[in-house]
Amino acid sequence: MARTLMKGEKFSIKPQESASDFIRKSYLGLALVGLTLLTPFAVNNLMHGRYFLGVGAFAIIAVLAFNAWMVVRYNRYYTLLTFLGLVPAILFFLSLSMLRQGMIGVLWAYPAVLSFYFMLPERRAWIANLALIVIVFPLAWNIIEQALAMRLIATLSMVSIFSAIFIRAITEQQNKLKTQAVTDPLTGLLNRSLLHGKLDWAVAQSKRTGIPMTLISFDIDHFKSINDTFGHDVGDKVLRSVSHVFKLRFRRSDKVFRLGGEEFLLLLYDTNIEDGKQVSEEIRQSIAALKLLPDQAVTVSTGVATLRPEEDWKQWIKRSDANLYRAKTSGRNRTVA
């Protein structure tokens, strides 16, 4: 069965998780500040017999230090450890500080709110801040004057909302920039920047699981002549229209690259040579049926290659390109596998 787009599926280019780089970098700064400022408080609490406060502070310091070391040493950051370990430690320390120190303890709520947004993915940061609000607001209402408690609730809510807006703006901007970095602006397809990584992944996946992987190299026939005869605006329209055919034909697991100019490469997941040839022919015929130029059809030549067990991605793509070259030299507007 040809590996075409199933009903209900959409073609999409999903950017990598954009918050991770920001979180790792911001966490290092927060960890440095936390280790520098919290350690004296932890030691002071222990020296004055406030053991629960001291232990809570050192628990926070320990998680900060461990995650910071993992980021520096291995470029890895455990958000789940922060969420399940550091957040409860901070909430415990905060509630205990409020009960023991009153308004002085309440002041720790402000850096806690900010730290959650800078240390956690957005949704987990919301959950952590909701937990903080559930704990802080009733305590504040009972341990300090109500007029002051109302102001605390209002200002803490504003800090939390402003932080959420700020982090959302940063996340959206990073998503946009990362999408632009891996996407061809004219066609909306992937560009060459992810090509080697995706092919390496496909080779490793196939060798590990035995799943067949197929490449299809596409080249628009006589594209230079189209640009020279009709102009680059028409040429751009042809590129966008051909790319739209690709988008309609493939699943989320497949990858479609514009390599440059009129050249495209399609990576088909779980597709053998026969299915790859069928898909290639369907696309070739669909493009030929488009009415893009007056009294002239736009055609493509294609080369199909299914990964062999002994190949790396360079050998694999070389065979696909060789088949494309054979299609072009044998008359164009055809598929060679």
Please return the burial class of 289, using the count of CB atoms within 10 Å of its CB with bins 0-12, 13-18 and 19+.
exposed
Of residues 262, 263, 282, 311, which has the active-site annotation?
A: 262
Q: What would the pLDDT profile of 273-302 be if each residue is shown by its tens digit? A: 999 999 999 999 999 999 999 888 999 999
**What single-letter amino acid sits at 207?**
K
Residues 6+ apart with CB under 8 A from 20: 77
CA atoms of 182 and 194, how far apart (whole Å): 7
**What single-letter amino acid sits at 11?**
F
CA atoms of 18 and 21, how far apart (whole Å): 7
CA atoms of 7 and 275, how far apart (whole Å): 18
Residue 3: the pLDDT is: 43
Residue 20: the pLDDT is: 63
Closest residue by Cα to residue 14 from 244, 212, 251: 251
Residue 262 falls in the annotated catalytic set: yes
Domains of the chain: 19-182 (no CATH), 192-336 (3.30.70.270)
* pTM, entire model: 0.64
Per-residue pLDDT of the chain (337 residues; tens, 9 = 90+): 344 443 334 333 333 333 467 788 888 888 888 888 888 988 988 998 888 888 888 888 888 888 888 888 888 878 888 888 888 888 888 888 888 888 888 888 898 888 888 888 888 889 999 999 999 999 988 888 888 888 988 999 899 899 889 888 888 887 888 888 888 999 999 998 889 999 999 999 999 999 999 999 999 999 999 999 999 999 999 999 999 999 888 888 899 999 989 999 999 999 999 999 999 999 999 999 999 998 889 999 999 999 999 999 999 999 999 999 999 999 999 999 9
